[in-house]
A and B are shown apart, each in its own frame.
Chain A
Amino acid sequence: MSHSTSESVPGLKQKKVFKIIVLGDSGVGKTCLTFRFCEGQFLDKSEATIGVDFRERTVKIRNEDIKLQLWDTAGQERFRKSMVQHYYRNVHAVMIVYDVTKPETFHSIASWMQEIESHGLMSAPRVLVGNKCDCGTPESRLATTYAQRLADKYGMPLFETSALLDSECDNVESIFMTLAHKLYSKQPLRVISIEGELGPRCVTLTRQKRPARNDTCLCS
């Protein structure tokens, strides 16, 4: 077992898992952004995503290991209905991506919002990400103020970044961490993932940390 865990029962590894779904039109850079976050580099030969790809990374929040599961979906419309539906189950947070050099990808946001609303995710933590900031000129890129207005309307924070630029690596990191922190502080009780040999026959339910309180685990 290669990573540290907040072990409370011998032989039982446990980590909180936050599931984040990444949405947006085809070609906006969803795959590159999730790759940047999980692998720390730009994916220079990205391919069309067919269906849903999965990536994950463990992060630390207040000394606790949290597993972020990223579900990178296909942008093409035809995959949305029927195919991807299954993957909305148990989603905790949503990232919507658009391409700052392609206004039409920004205008699709409304339909992506409808989509997440139909899955009852309007109250889940969400972020809006304008990608490919490295491209074009300030005039040719979609104006931040314009994007900000829409983000405000939907009540979600806006980030502009680039999956390509190494200098933006920290920024990409902070976008995902924003979601992670939000989830962390908002979580009520969740049944945590159980990995590892199940020695004692036991189901572990941890009480989720509330910001002002100490962690209490029912089993510890």
Chain B
Amino acid sequence: MDPYNTDEDCVNKCNLNGSPVLDRMSNDLNHTKNIDDIATPSELNFDQEFDYEEPEITEKKKEIEQCLKNPDIVNVDKWQSFARSKAGLISDEYRKVIWPLLVGVTLEELTDPPSLDELSTHPEYNQVVLDVNRSLKRFPPGIPYEQRVALQDQLTVLILRVIIKYPHLKYYQGYHDVAITLLLVCGDRASFPLLCRLSYGPTAPLAPFMQLTMQPTQHLLNYMLPVVRRADDRLAECLDKSGVGTMFALPWYLTWFGHSLNRYSDVVRLYDYFLCAPPLFPVYVTAAIVLHRAPQVFSCDADMAMMHCLLSRLPDDLPFEDILVVAQKLYEENDPTDLEPEVAALERREEEQRKLEEERMRRRRAGRVVPRAPLSSRLARYLPAPLRRAAPRRTILAITAALLAVYVYYRPDIFRMHPNEDK
């Protein structure tokens, strides 16, 4: 087998925060046809019809239906256990009622939304509309055109209502992916209080994303690597060495995977869980996904671009039930407070790196030319990984020194090797 095929594939198809474009393109073609084909009305439902249903699921359905007959006497713990256990809340019909209950939305909170015209003067209006207009992929295939446009308007209203109610919360690209998931499942009346709960408050999971800067989000994403490291040191090392950072997981976290998964059923399943999980839980799911994909990570070049490309593209067949179980276990074994020192160390290291970089930039602007890092360490990066790991420090130094000599010999202007350092 050619081990590079995977990388090659990855590169060729890589795009759009990692969704496989070719696959999606073909879907889209159908999609377009369906949307235009307004004559065939369709239910707003992407639940897959299974011919066969596991007995366990049939049993769970019965139990949920029993509870739904008299929801007032059902404890929230019960809903949570349904949402967490295998297959989650199973169907959108149940989700529609149970999601609001999971976050404690009451009937009185269900109010009719204002009209779009009333909101169109908001400073974020243009950005929201721009993103909403580009959210076609999130609608059920075959949805009639009018219905889709109406839903898009509802989506814009939903988002603006929240940021008008809480003016200190800032809209971010990706918020619309969360909002649309809630809207499609719960409708426009219930999704507003639901989205408010998720956005506002000391433990609201989306609140950190809506601050003035993305700094808090960046910080929370930094929990991923330490979680991975505790489970698989070698994997963490591999990620670290590639310099891939956390950007590949940013859209996952910001949208609770809504932006990055092709299968609607996976998205709502994850939302079942996240709606009753601690705010940082999606980061543990991210870690679990990376752990699940360890073999691919190991066979990928230790190169930022390749690694970013590989990881950001989520395969369509991820076993989310297993991943959630692993993520839960990771959470129980590595509480966020336990991880703080590791996260702090990681951030200190990044900060130092950043300072070095800044210093370099400052001096460069001042007219002096300095190398970005000790040359030996830069060159050492290009040593074959096994050698780098196995060889004693001295050997590396010797090889590096030899290389350096050759290097300098051929390039007296060595300190200008970086293109953007050229005068």
Contacts and interface: CB of A to CB of B under 8 A. Distances in A.
Contact of B420 (A43, A52, A123): A123
Nearest to B308: A54
Interface residues of B, number: 74
B21 A39 contact: yes
B370 to A, nearest CB: 11
Interface string B152-183: 00000000000000000010111010000000
A9 to B, nearest CB: 12
A1 B2 contact: yes
A38 B173 contact: no
Contacts of A45: 24, 28, 31, 134, 136-137
B46 interface: no
B420 A92 contact: yes
A213 interface: no
B40 interface: no
A125 B395 CA distance: 39
Interface stretch (B97-105, B228-236, B336-344, B379-387): B379-387
Interface in A142-199: 183, 186-191, 193-196, 198
B15 interface: yes
B204 interface: no
Contacts of A198: 384
B2 to A, nearest CB: 7
B392 to A, nearest CB: 15
Interface in B191-207: none
B410 A218 contact: yes
Given A56-B11, A83-B247, A48 B130 contact: yes
Interface string A85-121: 1110111110000000000000000000000001111
B407 A205 contact: yes
A54 B4 contact: no
A86 B245 contact: yes
A59 interface: no
Nearest to B21: A39
Contacts of A201: 383-384, 387
B383 A55 contact: no
Contact of B305 (A3, A56, A205): A56
B135 A47 contact: yes
A89 B14 contact: no
A47 B213 contact: no
A191 B379 CA distance: 9
Interface of A is mostly: loop
B419 A92 contact: yes
Interface stretch (B62-70, B86-94, B250-258, B289-297): B250-258
A31 interface: yes
Contacts of A2: 5, 8
Contacts of A3: 8
Contact of A90 (B136, B379, B418): B418
A205 B250 CA distance: 35
Contact of B17 (A50, A86, A190, A207): A50
Given A48-B173, A54-B305, A89-B357, A189 B410 contact: yes
B173 to A, nearest CB: 4
A183 B11 CA distance: 22
Interface in B1-15: 2, 4-5, 7-8, 11, 14-15
B127 A76 contact: yes
B232 to A, nearest CB: 23
Output the residue of A1, A26, A45, A123 with the most chain B CB within 10 A.
A45
Given A26-B127, A83-B214, A188 B15 contact: no
Contacts of B17: 47, 49-51, 53
B37 interface: no
A120 B364 contact: yes
A214 to B, nearest CB: 15
A83 B134 contact: no
Contacts of A4: none
Nearest to B309: A54
Contact of A76 (B15, B134, B173): B173
A62 interface: no
Nearest to A196: B4
B321 interface: no
Nearest to B7: A195
Contacts of B411: 188-189, 207
A205 B255 contact: no
A135 interface: no
Contacts of B137: 45, 47
A190 B417 contact: yes
Contacts of A92: 419-420
B349 to A, nearest CB: 13
A188 B410 contact: no
A205 B406 contact: yes
Contacts of A48: 130-131, 134-135, 173-174, 176
16 contacts: A1-B4, A35-B15, A45-B137, A47-B16, A48-B134, A50-B174, A51-B17, A51-B247, A53-B18, A118-B361, A120-B365, A123-B422, A123-B423, A183-B419, A188-B417, A191-B382
Interface of B: 2, 4-5, 7-8, 11, 14-18, 21, 24, 28, 31-32, 127, 130-131, 134-137, 170, 172-174, 176, 212-215, 217-218, 243, 245, 247, 250-251, 254-255, 259, 301, 303, 305, 308-309, 312, 354, 357, 360-361, 364-365, 379, 382-384, 387, 403, 406-407, 410-411, 413-414, 416-423
Interface pairs A-B: 8 shortest CB-CB: A50-B251, A51-B250, A124-B420, A48-B173, A198-B384, A48-B131, A120-B361, A27-B130
Given A90-B418, A124-B419, 18 more contacts: A2-B8, A39-B21, A44-B28, A46-B134, A48-B173, A54-B308, A54-B309, A55-B14, A56-B305, A79-B214, A82-B218, A86-B245, A120-B360, A188-B413, A188-B419, A189-B414, A191-B382, A196-B4
